[in-house]
Amino acid sequence: MLVATAATPMPPGTRSKLSSSWPAPEELEPSETPIWRKPWAIGLFIAVFVGVGWFVGHSQAPDNDVHGTPMSRALRSVGLGGARFSVTIDSDPPGAWIAIDGKDAARRTPSTVELPPGEHQVTLSMPDLGSVQVAVRGQNGQKLKVNEPLHGSLDVTALDPSLPVKVSLDGQPQGWLPAHIAKLPPGLHELQFNGPNMQPWAQQVSVPIRKTATLVARPMMSPATGVVQVQASMNDDNGTAPLNGAAVFIDGEMRGSTPLKLELPRGPHSLRVMYQGESAPVQVIDLPGGNQRFASFQFGLDSDLPPLKLQGSYAMLPAKRVNTISATLDGLSVRDIRESFLHIKAGDGLWRRVEMTVANGPRGAVVSGVFPNNLFDANGRVQWYVSAATTQGDEFYTEMQRSSR
């Protein structure tokens, strides 16, 4: 039998722990999304960020418009920067600094700049070397070219016109003074001078843009003669002792006996000393003017070094014939010889050298070279000798020779 009981009322605002209740209608409505999470706001932020970066980058990055401002550069990037024409500026030689209408363009040739239509002044310059100006006129969209030569020139004269002086520029022979050298790149150049009875010397000169530099060569003169002192010694079981009375040959001629002191003309000389039929190796001394040199010769020492011997007589070197000079080094091979030269005193008083070839002969190395026919003096005479050097550092010479046509 069921008994009905009355429900006990609960206080207002409380819920039973054993039952749930439906949310109120206003609780079922979704809350509003923050604006920073909305897709269109995110896209706008990214666009603004990229745009600001693009504007800053284009307004600060250098371009070819040397008259541009940050704002004009940015406007030009979207086609609103105004009319322009371009000029490709070059120079010969390149590397000149560019200025437009007096404003430094902070660039060197070759380079391309953009300018407003009209006439402009282009200045090309090199520090301390001068500048050159050229006018350019262009219309919107035009492409122009400017290529300006900047070469200068050089006039070189001798302090004493009666002295023959040869000049070379940056290592390239330019002949006798006076000399005019055209089309030189602006900047520093080195001149080398030499001549008879004078020591070689060098001077530097700065050549400006489109101007002529002048230089007066001042020879470094030295005395025409020097002194050579020749001595010999004998080596035996008792040691080394001075050797007196050995014959001394200077440039192939007997000039006395050891010890010997002689005043000789400045320049190369061959020295040979002979004692009791034995000759010491030939020496060549390049005697400076106003100076003294010593030459010592040893006897009584066994040496396996051969002398450098000329093959044949060369007293006559006919002008209409190919004259080949040959010398031998018996016992040495091609591999032993590092270099060999034919040294010739030309008609102008200057010494020149001609490289000789080295080959194997029946008894050893043979050096040979063709004698130039254009180096004789006005009287048809010439002075010369041959040298050779080994890979071990030994040097060999022939005596000084004198030949005629």
Handedness of CA 94, 97, 100, 106 (dihedral sign): positive
Record the tokens describing residue 185, joined without a space.
């790149």
Residue ranges and CATH numbers for the domains of the chain are 83-149 (2.60.40.10), 152-221 (2.60.40.2070), 225-299 (2.60.40.10), 309-404 (2.60.40.10)
**Which pLDDT tens digits describe the chain residue by residue (405 residues)?**
434 444 445 555 444 444 445 555 555 455 566 665 667 666 666 766 556 554 544 444 445 555 555 555 555 554 455 789 999 999 999 999 999 999 999 999 999 999 999 999 999 999 999 999 999 999 999 999 999 999 999 999 998 888 889 999 998 999 999 999 999 999 999 999 988 767 788 889 999 999 999 999 988 777 889 999 999 999 988 889 999 999 999 999 999 999 999 999 988 999 999 999 999 999 999 998 889 999 999 998 877 789 999 999 999 999 889 999 999 999 999 999 999 999 999 887 778 899 999 999 999 999 999 999 999 998 999 999 999 999 999 999 999 999 999
CB-CB contact of 73 with 80 (8 Å): no
234-238 — which CB contacts under 8 Å span 24+ positions?
A: 234/275, 234/299, 234/300, 235/298, 235/299, 235/300, 235/301, 236/300
